[in-house]
Amino acid sequence: MSTYEEIISAALALPPGARAMLAEHLLDGLNGEDQDRIDALWADEIERRIREVDEGKVTPVPGDQVMDRLRSRRSRK
């Protein structure tokens, strides 16, 4: 059995929660700097949206209303 196969076998033998954590760590290793850049862009976007609400440029819509609208649109299709 190759090292790769041993690693896969050991990973699949883990409990579901541990497998999920392992998968997250592996994906983080792939994303690396890209994820840091994405996180920074999202932080900027969040700040922009908060500023727009604070300045009265946009009016927040409660989540339940958003979901109702989406369900309504979906049922019309």
The domain locations on the chain are 3-76
Residue 16, CA distances (Å) to 13, 21, 27, 43 in order: 9, 9, 16, 31
pTM value is 0.50
pLDDT digits (tens, 9 = 90+) for 23-55: 999 988 887 778 888 889 999 999 999 999 999
DSSP string, 7-66: HHHHHHTS-HHHHHHHHHHHHHHHHHHHHHHHHHHHHHHHHHHHHHHHTTSS----HHHH
